[in-house]
Amino acid sequence: MPPPSEDAEQLFRISVIIPALNEQAAIGRCIQAARASLPDAEILVVDGASMDRTVETAHEFRAVRVIESPRGRALQMNAGASAAQGDVLLFLHADVQLPPTARSLIAKALSNPAVVGGAFRTWTVSDTPSALEPLLHLADLRSRYSSLPYGDQAIFVRAAIFRQLQGFPEQSLMEDLEFSEKLRSVGRVQILPASVRVSGRRFLAHPIRYFALLNLFPLLYRLGVSPARLAQWYGNPR
C-alpha cells in the first residue's frame, strides 16, 4: 500500500490525552515530543491532583488544555476522551515520548478501514546512568511479540470506536490490557513499526516489582485475579 498523501492525513484530527500525576520532571518533554511529531494535534493534560508543578509546567505550552480529574489513570483518560474533539484519540503516558514519524504512521494504519486502533513499540531508556541499564530493553520485548498493546505503547483508537466500547474500564490496574482486548474484538489492532521512548525510572526504582507488573501480573489477571488485588500486591502503580 502506498504511503498516505498529505490530503489523506488531513482527513482526521488527533487528540493526544496525557494522564498525569506529579509529573513535573517529565511532562515538558512529553508535550514537546508530541507537539513536534503531531503539530496539528489537540493536546490535553488530565491532572489527577498533582502536588508538584505538573499543572504549571503544562500551562507553559501554548494551546495545551489542562483539565482536572479524580486520580486514577483510567478515570483520567476517560475524562480526557470526553473533552477531546479529535477523530482519533491517542493516550500517552507522561513519561513516554512519541517518535517523529507518528503522524504518517498513524495515518497509514487508519487508511485501512479494518484497523480500529493500534500502538507503537517501546524503547526503554534510563534518565540517569545506572548499572541496571542493560536490563531495561527486556521490557521492550513484550511490545515486539504481543499483539495486545499496553498503555506505555501510546495506544490510539478511532474516537467513535472508543465511545462504542465505553472507554477504559475504571479499575485500579490492567485497564490498558482490558481495553486492548475489547478493541481487538471489534477490529484490527495495528502495532506500528516505530518505537516510543519510555523512561526506565520505574524499572530502575523497583526492578522486581516492575518486572512482575510487566510479566507476571497480566498472567494472573487472565487467570481471574482481580485488578484491586493486583494493585494491593504491587503498591501504588502510578
Distance CA 63, CA 9 (A): 21
Position with higher pLDDT, 214 vs 67: 67
pLDDT of residue 3: 52
pLDDT of residue 1: 47
CA 109 from centroid of its chain's CA atoms: 17
pTM listed for this prediction:
0.88
User: Phi, psi at residue 42, to the nearest 5°?
Assistant: -80, 130
Has residue 81 got a pLDDT over 60? yes
- Where is average pLDDT lowest: 100-114, 180-194, 197-211? 197-211
Domains of the chain: 6-234 (3.90.550.10)
- Where is average pLDDT lowest: 37-46, 48-57, 123-132? 123-132
The proportion of the chain whose per-residue pLDDT surpasses 90, expressed as a percent, equals: 66
pLDDT of residue 70: 96
Position with higher pLDDT, 133 vs 228: 228
Residues 6+ apart with CB under 8 A from 122: 139, 140, 142, 143, 152, 153, 195, 196, 198
Distance CA 43, CA 16 (A): 5
Has residue 238 got a pLDDT over 60? no
